């Protein structure tokens, strides 16, 4: 599985602050559409192109490029409102044959495997290929023009319900419209999956102008959070030199410092990164995410012991954020000390209970169990890790071990059985798909 990731492979970026922002900004829009907000999930994909799409029922995937290209939060939420209708209005994509055979329900578990944790290590290697395959399939999907118009009008309605101006939606689509004249390969995928034309924008313009909130500025709290996230994401993704050009050290605004923390960290300039992180903590001592990144810098710099109280502070400030708990748990586990292992177990158990797809938390939990001689639980946690990382072949192996070591009928035994059953099926499907692709590749080579 350790092949170089193909060009179309994309990974999910996981970050506590981003996920909290997604919830706070978008839940009201989901509710306005008549959806149950908790059942809609948003995922940030590491991909430079502009795209957002709905798959596997109520999951919205957002390319990092879309977030970075949105000038303000209203542009971003305009796209979210549009996507929300694709869910709430029951739009089915015209699916390609390959997509249908892959099974929409398995897409999500595959995709989750590619999750990388923004402020932290990655455990992405295993799931990345499968995620890439399911994402590549997304490329042949497109909504009809009728569905697009419906999504525009419904989106404008949702925004009006929550008291937001829909102007940002138009601004964002206008930017994409410039791409209509480009050759398909140079277009962003969004314009291919959501066909755009002049009539569509004019119609949307009319609807948006009728709203009493037309022309209102974005909500200042959301706008501030959004600009911070953009700075953080940019610092994490761009080459440090590029980030420092955009946010030179002379810029002492909070967003600029936030971008530079990640840029310096990426450039392995630990001292500079730590200095910026300290400045951020001084600006907002109660902000859990600033303590989180400070802990991360210490941790990555090998100062693991120093990172513990800093992570602990972040957890105290945000006790309901499993990704931050995971960072603390990881730091504890990595010290390979029995007393800390024991302490880490309940923290990681809690994190995995609230975030079952967090393969990185499962990995650390398995290690802690194993250290404490709790081998059956270690096998089950490892099965969970590979299951959530979209690696059914490894999941089968460890789930079988867990089935053999737990007493029949216990909750752990039942869970291991479930993973075994689902993963066996997925493993077979995956192997069949691999063989089919190999055959296709061979045929293609012969034709050449
Ligand atoms: Zn659309």
Task: Name residue 14's beta-bridge partners.
Answer: 117
Q: How confident is the model at residue 259 (pLDDT cuts 50, 70, 90)?
A: very high
Quick one: pLDDT at residue 281?
A: 98
Q: What would the two tokens of residue 178 be?
A: 């410039």
Q: How confident is the model at residue 56 (pLDDT cuts 50, 70, 90)?
A: low
For residues 345 and 365, what is the distance between their CA atoms, to the nearest angstrom?
6
Quick one: pLDDT at residue 433?
A: 74
Whether the pLDDT of residue 231 is over 90: the answer is yes
Quick one: pLDDT at residue 445?
A: 59
Quick one: pLDDT at residue 342?
A: 97
CB atoms within 10 A of CB 56: 17
Cα of 444 vs centre of ligand 1, distance in Å, is: 33
Extents of the domains making up the chain: 11-220, 249-434
For residues 17 and 436, what is the distance between their CA atoms, to the nearest angstrom?
41
pLDDT digits over 163-190, tens only?
Answer: 999 999 999 998 888 777 777 667 777 8
Cα of 36 vs centre of ligand 1, distance in Å, is: 20
Q: Ion ligand 1 — residues with CB under 5 Å?
A: 143, 148, 151, 194
Enter the DSSP assignment of 89. T
Cα of 231 vs centre of ligand 1, distance in Å, is: 27
Q: What would the two tokens of residue 284 be?
A: 């907002």
Quick one: pLDDT at residue 116?
A: 41
pLDDT digits over 298-339, tens only?
Answer: 999 999 999 999 999 999 999 999 999 999 999 999 999 999
pTM of the model: 0.84
User: What's the CATH code, domain 249-434?
Assistant: 1.25.40.10
Cα of 120 vs centre of ligand 1, distance in Å, is: 33
The residue among 126 and 356 whose pLDDT is bigger is: 356
- Got the DSSP string for 307-330? HHHHHHHHHHH-TT-HHHHHHHHH
Quick one: pLDDT at residue 99?
A: 41
Quick one: pLDDT at residue 222?
A: 97
pLDDT digits over 79-122, tens only?
Answer: 999 999 999 998 876 544 334 333 333 444 444 443 444 333 33
Cα of 13 vs centre of ligand 1, distance in Å, is: 23
Which of these ranges, 337-351, 361-375, 433-447, has the smallest mean pLDDT? 433-447
């Amino acid at each position: 599985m350790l092949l170089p990731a193909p060009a179309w492979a994309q990974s999910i970026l996981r970050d506590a602050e981003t996920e909290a922002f997604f919830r706070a900004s978008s839940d009201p829009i989901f509710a306005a559409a008549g959806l149950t907000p908790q059942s809609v999930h948003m995922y940030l994909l590491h991909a430079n192109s502009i795209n957002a799409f709905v798959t596997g029922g109520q999951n919205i995937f957002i390319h990092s490029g879309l977030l970075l290209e949105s000038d303000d939060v209203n542009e971003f939420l305009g796209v979210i409102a549009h996507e929300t209708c694709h869910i709430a209005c029951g739009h089915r994509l015209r699916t390609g044959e390959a997509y249908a055979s892959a099974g929409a329900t398995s897409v999500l578990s595959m995709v989750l495997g590619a999750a990388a944790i923004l402020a932290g290590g990655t455990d992405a290697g295993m799931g990345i290929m499968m995620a890439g395959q399911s994402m590549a399939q997304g490329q042949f999907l497109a909504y009809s023009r009728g569905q697009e118009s419906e999504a525009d009008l419904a989106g404008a309605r949702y925004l009006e319900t929550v008291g937001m101006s829909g102007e940002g939606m138009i601004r964002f689509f206008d930017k994409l419209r410039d791409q209509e004249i480009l050759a398909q390969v140079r277009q962003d995928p969004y314009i291919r999956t959501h066909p755009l034309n002049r009539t569509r924008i004019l119609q949307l313009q009319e609807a948006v102008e009728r709203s009493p909130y037309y022309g209102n500025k974005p909500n200042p709290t959301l706008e501030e959070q959004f600009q911070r996230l953009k700075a953080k994401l940019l610092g994490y993704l761009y080459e440090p030199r590029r980030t420092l050009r955009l946010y030179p050290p002379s810029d002492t605004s909070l967003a600029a410092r936030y971008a530079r923390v990640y840029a310096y960290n990426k450039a392995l300039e630990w001292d500079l990164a730590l200095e910026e992180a300290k400045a951020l903590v001084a600006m907002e001592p109660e902000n859990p995410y600033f303590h989180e990144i400070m802990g991360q810098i210490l941790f990555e710099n090998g100062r693991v012991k120093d990172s513990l109280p800093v992570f602990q502070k972040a957890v105290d400030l945000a006790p309901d954020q499993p990704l931050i708990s995971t960072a603390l748990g990881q730091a504890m586990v990595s010290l390979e000390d029995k007393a800390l292992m024991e302490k880490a177990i309940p923290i990681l158990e809690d994190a995995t209970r609230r975030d079952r797809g967090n393969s990185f938390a499962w990995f650390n939990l398995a290690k802690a169990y194993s250290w404490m001689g709790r081998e059956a639980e270690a096998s089950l946690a490892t099965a969970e890790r590979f299951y959530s990382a979209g690696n059914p072949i490894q999941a089968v192996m460890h789930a079988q071990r867990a089935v053999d070591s737990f007493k029949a009928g216990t909750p752990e035994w039942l869970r291991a059985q479930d993973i075994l059953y689902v993963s066996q099926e997925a493993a077979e499907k995956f192997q069949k798909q691999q063989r089919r692709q190999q055959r296709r590749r061979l045929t293609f080579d012969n034709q050449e």
